Amino acid sequence: MISQKMEGLIKNSSVIRAMFEEGARRRKIYGDENVFDFSIGNPSVTPPEQVRQTITQILQDENPLTVHGYMNNSGYEDVRRTIAGHLNAQHGGSLDTQNIVMTCGAAGGLNIILKTLLNPGDEVIVFAPFFGEYANYVSNFDGRLVVVNTDPQTFLPDIDALRDAVTAKTKAVIINTPNNPTGVVYPASLLQQMASVLTQKEQEFASSIYVISDEPYREIIYDGVQVPYILDYFRNAFIGYSYSKSLSLPGERIGYLVVHPDMDDISNIVSALNVANRILGFVNAPSLFQKVVANILDVQVNVDIYRENRDLIYGKLTELGFECVHPQGAFYLFPKSPLADDKEFCEFAKNYNLLLVPGSSFGCPGHFRLSYCVSKEQILRSFPAFEKLAEALKR
């Protein structure tokens, strides 16, 4: 018999992944060109050519025993030094090797942070809508997820609601900007207010409250929007970064954590992150791709492709009467569901081979998520299906 905890996790297994499998099933029946799968955030933009060139160069020039061997659990020292210097050059600061931990993507990074921080019953605050796997990550380490609502018009966190949610058991707050599923970027003024609240609460409860900034979409931004640098606002802060989106490398599982140099108990925390990396089975981030990303830190995918997709699908859906916040980053739309039951709406959309994800999967019922990291051709082919769907809903 499997564990009771895993039984619960299976029951709450990702709706997004289930929809992705449904798409594969439907494509076999109806053909690729007649199924419009907007369910999963799998990058559709080809990785930059520099990725392939760098892999080839490393494999040709470096000792295979070094390229494929073990290293410190935090990752290669030269790679961490290079990333720290790159971030210092971009944002200022004094990051060094000890402030960087190479991880198996942002998900691996968040898990070793939570393993490091949480005692049973500790609370982790998230803002709805939020990436649904946060609930599983927190539960996996016997923490308690506390969901704080956002403004229904802007999806920005409600500062008063945050203040009311913080208790003596609050250990961490997870923020995700640019946000999955809304595409919203949190402005600097909001982060300043959040920092003020958390500082007051740390003093009130004589505790440390850690901000975990989940940033896989940091480079996927549009219209000149700037993403504030979290370390400028929160002292007890981690950044979890991934190259899954910025370089279109989701399957390579490569990313890093940044640990604020002035964080409370930083020495023990960095040591614990290393141990957590090991005992959770990651051991270290993939060796070859640590070296690859360190050589192409100024490279990223062509974001204009996603921007064009955003403009096409946002324009079409709003033309058809769907209500939706205009995304500033990431590659998702999060419209209001035309039906009160968002799950019922997503099931109804399948009649037109439109695969969408209910907002309740992100802690925000009454909406649905659409991922536009697909080909421009799929978006254009989907327009008649959306038109039929909108017409059917009027009857």
Task: Confirm if 97 and 123 have CB atoms less than 8 A apart.
Answer: no
222 and 258: one domain?
Answer: yes
Task: Confirm if 70 and 76 have CB atoms less than 8 A apart.
Answer: no
Measured distance CA(384)–CA(188) in Å, rounded: 40
Model-level pTM? 0.95
What's the pLDDT at 12? Answer: 64
26 and 53: one domain?
Answer: no
307 and 281: one domain?
Answer: no
Take residue 12 and report the two structure tokens written for it.
Answer: 């709450």
Given 294, 312, 345, which residue is the final one in a domain? 294
What's the pLDDT at 14? Answer: 63
Cα(first)–Cα(last) distance of the chain, in Å? 49
CB count within 10 Å of CB 163 equals 16
Task: Confirm if 325 and 310 have CB atoms less than 8 A apart.
Answer: no
Given 294, 310, 330, which residue is the final one in a domain? 294
187 and 333: one domain?
Answer: no
66 and 33: one domain?
Answer: no
173 and 269: one domain?
Answer: yes
177 and 34: one domain?
Answer: no
What's the pLDDT at 32? Answer: 84
What's the pLDDT at 28? Answer: 87
Q: Identify the domain containing residue 116 by its residue range.
A: 49-294
249 and 373: one domain?
Answer: no
CATH number at residue 32: 3.90.1150.10
What's the pLDDT at 27? Answer: 85
121 and 260: one domain?
Answer: yes
Total domains, the chain: 2
* 3-class SS of residue 364: coil
User: Tokens 């921080």 map to which residue?
Assistant: 117
Q: What is the mean pLDDT of each run of 10 residues along the chain (395 residues)?
A: 82 69 83 91 95 97 93 97 98 96 98 98 98 94 97 96 98 98 98 98 98 98 97 98 97 98 97 97 97 97 98 98 97 98 96 96 96 97 98 88
- Tell me the DSSP string of 145-177: EEEEEB-TTT--B-HHHHHHH--TTEEEEEE-S
25 and 58: one domain?
Answer: no
Task: Confirm if 328 and 223 have CB atoms less than 8 A apart.
Answer: yes
CATH number at residue 230: 3.40.640.10
Measured distance CA(123)–CA(128) in Å, rounded: 16
Given 263, 294, 325, which residue is the final one in a domain? 294
* 3-class SS of residue 332: strand
259 and 308: one domain?
Answer: no
What's the pLDDT at 234? Answer: 98
105 and 163: one domain?
Answer: yes
Task: Confirm if 358 and 348 have CB atoms less than 8 A apart.
Answer: no
What's the pLDDT at 370? Answer: 97
